[in-house]
Amino acid sequence: MEPIVTVAGGAIRGRTEHGVTRFLGVPYAAAPVGPRRFRLPEPAPAWEGVREATEMGATCAQSPYPAPIHALLGSDGIPGEEYLNANVWTPDPAARGLPVMVWIHGGAFVRGSNARAIYDGTAFARDGVVLVSINYRLGVSGFAVLDGAPPNRGLHDQLCALRWVRDNIAAFGGDPDNVTIFGESAGGMSVAALIAAPQSAGLFRRAIVQSANGAVAADPEDARRVSAALAEELGIAPTAADFGALGPDELRTAQNAVALAVMMDPDPQRWGSTVIEQGLGIMSLFPVRDDDIVPGPATEVLAAHPERAVPLITGTTADEFRFFTVPTGLAAGITTDTLPFVLTRYGIDPGVAEAYSAQRPDASPPEIFNAILTDWCFRSGTLDFADANAAGAPTHVYEFAWPTGISGLGACHVLEIPFVFDALSAAHTLTGPNPPQDLATEIHSAWVRFATDGTVGWPAYTPEATHVRLFDSPGSSTVTDLRAEELAALRQAIPRP
């Protein structure tokens, strides 16, 4: 069956299989190429006749993941200019008032797309939700601070996509007044920024932030240091005109070189303190403070404006940072002797390792390092954001604790996504061959309930009652004061805003 619906640009033809209809690669904005690359998003031009929407659309130009990460996730790369597109899965385009979820992918703001198999929205549509996944500008195109260009273009793309959802989702059976946005990693940071942004009012009702925090917003002058390094690498001026004259391959090459330089030499004097501290040693291009949609880090903005809070689920995996150190071999080089030096490199008082070792007497130095970095980069900031949001709206916190079958990775970054999407068959390179379906059913169902009516099935989190849902198999549970001693030691060593 090939149903046809009409959206702002014209008619599109999808495909129905097994009771779910999908429309893929639908442009929500004009192709950001040529003079549009560094402008705010513009409406997609109308098309004649019926546009086929049965194949994944183009993705923003990007480099493949390094080989060890590629082996776990694969990489994204569908050529084409119309990469500001959306995919939609719906149980019935003729329905009315279905809950809507909008997925914002991760990838450190330089990689990723809505075309990944583990982001397939079939299970959400099967369970009565209209699922939308979006692309946005990445890397230099989306986040470099350049003279003659507005900042945070990638976030403006996301806002543009949400306006497209508001104006068009009824054509797919969705309710524009019952939208939940959710995302992981850079996508979760984007969700946090959108909650705090004044321009997002009325575009969504609820939000889910997975494996992210609300502390990310580079100082513009620090971000300009990265742009100056990019321009120097390319032999041009740091202007939209000069960067716009280059092709994506040239931009990618320079972007990779500067990202490596930041990782190898994380010197705040060279790159600026906010690039190093908020980039977490992983990111060099990410949202920046401006006078528009990012007045500051989302946690700070939300603390000052609790009226912007929305019903929220937020959480992390138990072993986030192993994803970055175990496959690459970095963890293997951490010993009792080198651990203090590595922690110092990240600006962390090495004395904090004593508190973690006391709670984990059998843990090796790499395990202690990864536990500290998981809390520093993810868990501490997640709870700070939960504290701020809880002042204005119901907030629920989780930790994904089931360890993957891939040796050494534990409950690592990204691992919860195929459980959320109930797409385990597409994720065995990450989960191992026998992931527990009961856990996918539990988590996916919680996300569906939340998008439908705001309920989740475990108590709300507040600063006074720190309930956390531990998702695990066999048997999830709800706890309070999860690893409070470690978190207190870390926060004493590295105060958060």
Nearest to 367 by CA among 409, 327, 414: 409
User: Which residues face 21 on adjacent strands?
Assistant: 16, 90
**E strands in 91-151:** 98-104, 130-134
* 467: annotated active-site residue: no
Paired tokens of 140: 């230099």
Residue 267's Cβ-count burial label (10 Å; 0-12, 13-18, 19+) is: exposed
Whether 124 contacts 421, CB under 8 Å: yes
Round to whole Å and give the CA distance between 324 and 388.
28
Q: Which among 413, 416, 467, 476 is annotated as catalytic?
A: 413
Contact in structure between 449 and 458 (CB atoms under 8 Å):
no
Q: Which of 185, 227, 284, 476 is catalytic?
A: 185
Q: What's the token pair of residue 91?
A: 């149980």
CA distance 432 to 276: 34
Q: Annotated catalytic, 413?
A: yes
User: What are the Cα distances from residue 237, in Å, to 27, 203, 289, 292, 452?
Assistant: 32, 37, 22, 25, 49
Active site residue 185: yes
Catalytic residue among 320, 367, 416, 486: 320
CA distance 459 to 456: 8
Neighbours of 428 (CB within 10 A): 14
User: CB of 86 within 8 A of CB of 132?
Assistant: yes
Residues whose CB falls within 8 Å of the CB of residue 418, separated by 6 or more in sequence, listed in order: 118, 424, 426, 427, 430, 431, 435, 440
Cis bond before residue 474 (omega within 30° of 0): yes
Determine whether 374 is exposed, middle or buried from the number of CB atoms within 10 Å of its CB (0-12, 13-18, 19+). Answer: buried
Residue 475 CB contacts under 8 Å (≥ 6 apart), including other chains: none
Please give the backbone phi and psi of residue 387, each rounded to the nearest 5 degrees, phi first.
-60, -45
**Rounded CA separation 427/439 (Å):** 14
DSSP letter for each residue of 384-430: HHHHHHHTTS-EEEEEE-PPPSSTT--S-TTTTHHHHTT-GGG-HHH
Tell me the two tokens of residue 126: 């099967």
C-alpha–C-alpha distance, residues 301 and 117, integer Å? 35
Of 255, 237, 268, 214, give the one whose Cα is nearest residue 377: 214
Active site residues per annotation: 185, 320, 413
